[in-house]
């Protein structure tokens, strides 16, 4: 399954634009053409949400596509505002599978989630434009594991 899987990672403070949307869609469609059908998403606000919505939209055209949510813990969205929570619940309801890295929130559950995403993938589509933080750490880990990284923030 790993050879047919791609994960996503990106910043929570992410504002989508037409160019990024086009590049994300082209990257996903290209991977589908290479036999990738499992797309793992961490369920965070920002880029994760953007990627999940894109996968769900493309699943209507490519029925073999599966969205796998790899979430840090069941209470991830406990303090989110109503509109973010509604979108999150909508994505969860349409996901093909949901996996939790931890049974409850702890200081390591986000890192565990990121490692699960990478460890199950051969590809990682990211939006990385800051050399520090969780996204940068996840991309470094992916490269160490030999996962092919596609950074949408680069030209």
pLDDT tens readout for residues 41-55: 999 999 999 999 999
Instruction: Read off the DSSP letter of residue 147.
Output: P
| Confidence category of residue 1, pLDDT binned at 50, 70, 90 | confident
What SS3 class is residue 10? Answer: strand
| CATH classification at residue 41 | 3.40.50.450
Q: Give 99-127 pLDDT, tens digit per residue.
A: 999 999 999 999 999 999 999 999 999 99
State the pLDDT at residue 155: 63
Strands (E), 49-117: 66-71, 97-100
Q: Kindly report the pTM of this predicted structure.
A: 0.95
**pLDDT over threshold 90, residue 130:** no
Task: Count structural domains, the chain.
Answer: 1
Residue carrying structure tokens 């965070």: 44
Mean local confidence (pLDDT), 66-74: 98
CA 76, 78, 84, 85 dihedral sign is positive
Q: Whole domain around residue 24: which residue ranges?
A: 2-151
State the pLDDT at residue 77: 96
**Whether the Cβ atoms of residue 57 and residue 18 lie closer than 8 Å to each other:** no
């Amino acid at each position: 399954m790993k050879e047919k899987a791609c994960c996503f990672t990106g910043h929570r403070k992410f504002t989508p634009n037409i160019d990024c949307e086009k590049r994300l869609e082209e990257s996903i469609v290209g991977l589908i053409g290479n036999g990738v059908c499992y797309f793992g998403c961490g369920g965070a606000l920002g880029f994760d949400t953007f990627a999940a919505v894109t996968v769900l939209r493309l699943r209507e055209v490519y029925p073999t596509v599966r969205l796998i949510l790899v979430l840090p813990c069941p209470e991830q969205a406990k303090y989110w505002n109503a509109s973010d929570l509604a979108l999150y619940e909508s994505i969860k309801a349409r996901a093909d599978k949901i996996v939790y890295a931890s049974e409850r929130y702890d200081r390591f559950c986000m890192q565990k989630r990121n490692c699960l995403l990478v460890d199950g993938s051969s590809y990682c589509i990211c939006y990385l434009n800051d050399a520090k933080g969780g996204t940068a750490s996840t991309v470094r880990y992916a490269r160490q594991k030999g996962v092919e990284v596609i950074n949408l923030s680069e030209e």
